Amino acid sequence: EAGVTQSPTHLIKTRGQQATLRCSPISGHTSVYWYQQALGLGLQFLLWYDEGEERNRGNFPPRFSGRQFPNYSSELNVNALELEDSALYLCASSPAPGQGGFEAFFGQGTRLTVV
């Protein structure tokens, strides 16, 4: 069974540009979570999507946004990139809330570098 897959593996953008990161959850999982792992700041919760809806949002500015598609894959968009957005962006998936087996499994991440 395939795990959580993220693309691209690496992404280099210029300050002010937009970045789009993609995530495919484990088959059968409906919830997708996005986290930012910046150097020295640990893992910070960004967004949670389930059944196509945004369920929760972390303490990040509105230029961090995303969506979830009918096949449960997800996209994270970061607009007006700033140098401090450079980080490893991790996607995790888990079964639907209340469906049991709520463990979250992570992908390998997308390394975003803003220059």
| Contacting residues toward another protein, per CB under 8 A | 4, 31, 33, 35, 42-45, 48, 50, 55-56, 90, 92, 94, 97-98, 102-109
Q: Which is nearer to another protein, 43 or 75 (CB)?
A: 43
| Residue 106 near residue 92, CB atoms below 8 Å | yes
> Is the CB of 13 or the CB of 55 nearer to another protein?
55
Whether the upstream peptide bond of residue 8 has omega within 30° of 0, thus cis, is: yes
State which residue, 79 or 108, has the beta carbon closest to another protein: 108
To the nearest whole angstrom, how small is the minimum distance from the Cβ of residue 4 to another protein? 8
Minimum CB distance to another protein smaller for 48 or for 64: 48
∠ Cα 70 102 110 (to 5°)? 60
Q: How far is the CB of 52 from another protein (least distance, A)?
A: 14
Three-class DSSP category at 76: strand
Q: Which residues pair with 22 in a beta bridge?
A: 7, 75
Least distance between another protein and beta carbon 69 (Å) = 18
| Whole-number Å distance between alpha carbons of 105 and 94 | 7
